Structure 1
Amino acid sequence: MLGLTNESRTSDSAMVSSQDSYEACFGLGHSLRLLDRSGVFRVSPAGLRLGDLLVRHVEVPAGDGWAALDMGTGSGVQALLLRSIGARNIVATDISEPSVKIAGENEILNFGDRAVTFGVGSLFDAPSADRAFDLIVFNPPGWHTPSPDCQEGLERLGLTGLGLEAMFSGDRVLTEFLGRLPDHLTESGRAIVGFNSMVGIQKVLTDVRKQFGANCPLRFRLLERHTFPLFVYTEKWRASMGMLMAEFQLWKERYGSAFSVHADGTLYFSYELVECRISGSARATR
């Protein structure tokens, strides 16, 4: 596997592995044990930072009315962390049915029962996600849509399947997500979204504003920014690195993707945690 946005096999201090599971640790003593299964990405360092931010920034009011959505739940880690924080009304969705199944198993592993509503679907198309929420958490694919030449090169190397969908096309996914977001937030609701600099953040935001026209209903606030190195974990991905570096440079020139390459050849990208809310003027007209 390749990329800290998707899977980590490194010895991160917040992750402790055993033979068939690993522990993800967050602030204030929140900790989750997650099954280590093929086909489901481990929590990345970016996902750990997102979880740390949720511990610091999310206060769950009493009662069952407050609702949260964990979109692209993967192993279920953010949904289960929200439950650990105290949320009661949680929906978690993913396009991968195996991921949703294992996320449910992770809930049983950590809590002994089921309280999260898990569903399969893309963005807000899962039946359980077609409503308004007080909090939406989304860690979308971190890379730009590949060019046709890159796509062909990946296929020649046998790099295909759902794993690529979780890595590429972050620009397209983010643009569609943000375009639909206002219809799925309560008046005081907010989304906390992970933006990877490899997607071309400024172009995505510009495209979203153009989509809405003069009255963009969303306002954005940067909460945190982190820098991570890109690592290669398998021979197939190592064989693709020359092609990918050329692709990354293309993204930088055409779409504003941002990264730096150090003297030792390591690529560093930025991970921005952004809060999205409905603007005051848009709220008044709803």
Structure 2
Amino acid sequence: MLGLNDKSWLVEKFYETHYSQFAERPQDSKERPRAYDTYFGMGRSIRLIDEIGVFKISPAGLALGNYILKTLHDDELKGKCLDVGTGSGVLALLLRDMGAKSIVGTDISAAAVNLAIRNETLNFGNRKICFTVGDFFSALPNELQKFDTVIFNPPGWRTPSVNLLEYLLAIDNPEELAVSAMFYGDGLLLKFLQELPFHLKESGRAIIGLNSLVGIKDVLGRYRNQHCDTCPLQFRLLERHAFPLLFYSEHWRKIAPRLLEEFSQWREQQRAAYSLDSQGTLYWSYELVECIWNKKQAARAYG
């Protein structure tokens, strides 16, 4: 498939400054927490604690952060911002550094929320962001709260086959970030899109980062079909990057052939898109998509 193997400057930046962070390291309980810096431009840098069990920032996270920095204007920063699946909190922290005043970050992982809180204190010396534990919008302090800007960077891969799931469950290492944490992106994305209209202001927008291994056309098609001719949201491609598939530890690298076999089946079924270069490196497409109200259809669906 043409157009998926161009090299982004973000890939080179990531290899130079961050790839070493994924190397295995001694787990001495007395060792000070290891931290690394992420630079987004315009002098804005966020320092993050490196902790097992919480995703480190990826090339995709850097791309989304760079887009936020480039495009969010003052009026949006004055509004209410929500970072769904905040993880380390890096995007919420970037929003605060940019001047946003009202920020909520949610994550289903209590460990991730705890780390995000620590990262905010590390960078700013105090707490202003509301970090909460919960599934998508259920974690909001006010369940009816609506936002001007919503950011979501979901897990990148679609639901695994039964055979692959059984294989992953059999070999998962409790001391590693579970490989299964990268799957189920299609189901999570559908759930997010179903709930989003209840929490997005009429003039607001959501910016979501989609991995072509989730099956973007398939997922958006399923969403539209669920709503027939009254789809409340409309979508627009904002930016696209091609990234090599990275395996974050030796454990992941050992099972790479089995994962690549699964991805090949998805592509044959037209449920994923990627390209392989001459060395066999897989390149996937990271696509930043804007979701806004389809006002005419929304009036019919929710009016």
**TM-score, reference length from structure 2:** 0.85
Distance of 2:77 and 2:273 partners within structure 1: 43
Structure 2 residue aligned with 1:4: none
Structure 1 residue aligned with 2:95: 82
Structure 2 residue aligned with 1:146: 160
**Unaligned regions of 5+ residues in structure 2, if any?**
1-12, 22-31
Q: CA deviation at 1:154?
A: 1.1
Structure 2 residue aligned with 1:230: 245
SS of structure 1 residue aligned to 2:42 = helix
After TM superposition, what 4+ stretches of structure 1 lie above 6 angstroms from structure 2?
14-19
Where do 1:231-270 residues align within 5 Å? 231-270=246-285
Structure 2 residue aligned with 1:202: 217
Structure 2 residue aligned with 1:124: 137
Distance of 2:76 and 2:218 partners within structure 1: 39
Where do 1:73-222 residues align within 5 Å? 73-128=86-141, 130=143, 131-159=145-173, 163-164=178-179, 166-222=181-237
Q: Tell me whether 1:55 sits opposite 2:69 in the alignment.
A: yes
Q: CA deviation at 1:15?
A: 8.8
SS of structure 2 residue aligned to 1:26 = strand
Structure 2 residue aligned with 1:6: none
SS of structure 1 residue aligned to 2:182 = coil
The 1:162–1:236 alpha-carbon spacing in structure 2 relative to 1, beyond 3 Å, is closer
What are the Cα deviations for residues 66-96 of structure 1, in whole angstroms up to 9, with x where unaligned? Answer: 1110000000000010111111110001111
SS of structure 2 residue aligned to 1:92 = strand
How large is the RMSD of aligned CA atoms in angstroms?
A: 2.4
Q: Which moved more, 1:271-280 or 1:36-45?
A: 36-45
The 1:149–1:62 alpha-carbon spacing in structure 2 relative to 1, beyond 3 Å, is closer
Distance of 1:132 and 1:220 partners within structure 2: 19
* Matched residues, number: 277
Q: Tell me whether 1:32 sits opposite 2:32 in the alignment.
A: no
Structure 1 residue aligned with 2:84: 71
Identity %: 47
SS of structure 2 residue aligned to 1:128 = coil
SS of structure 2 residue aligned to 1:188 = strand
| Letter aligned with residue 11 of structure 1 | Y
Contact 1:25 1:31 in 2 (8 A): yes
Structure 1 residue aligned with 2:15: 11
| Letter aligned with residue 92 of structure 1 | G
SS of structure 1 residue aligned to 2:104 = strand
Distance of 2:192 and 2:273 partners within structure 1: 21
Q: CA deviation at 1:232?
A: 2.4
Distance of 1:148 and 1:114 partners within structure 2: 43
**TM-score, reference length from structure 1:** 0.90
Q: Tell me whether 1:275 sits opposite 2:279 in the alignment.
A: no
Distance of 2:286 and 2:214 partners within structure 1: 10
Q: CA deviation at 1:19?
A: 7.3
Contact 1:229 1:266 in 2 (8 A): yes
Q: Which moved more, 1:253-262 or 1:270-279?
A: 253-262
**Unaligned regions of 5+ residues in structure 1, if any?**
1-8
Distance of 1:129 and 1:271 partners within structure 2: 32
Q: CA deviation at 1:238?
A: 2.2
| Letter aligned with residue 175 of structure 1 | L
Q: CA deviation at 1:146?
A: 0.7
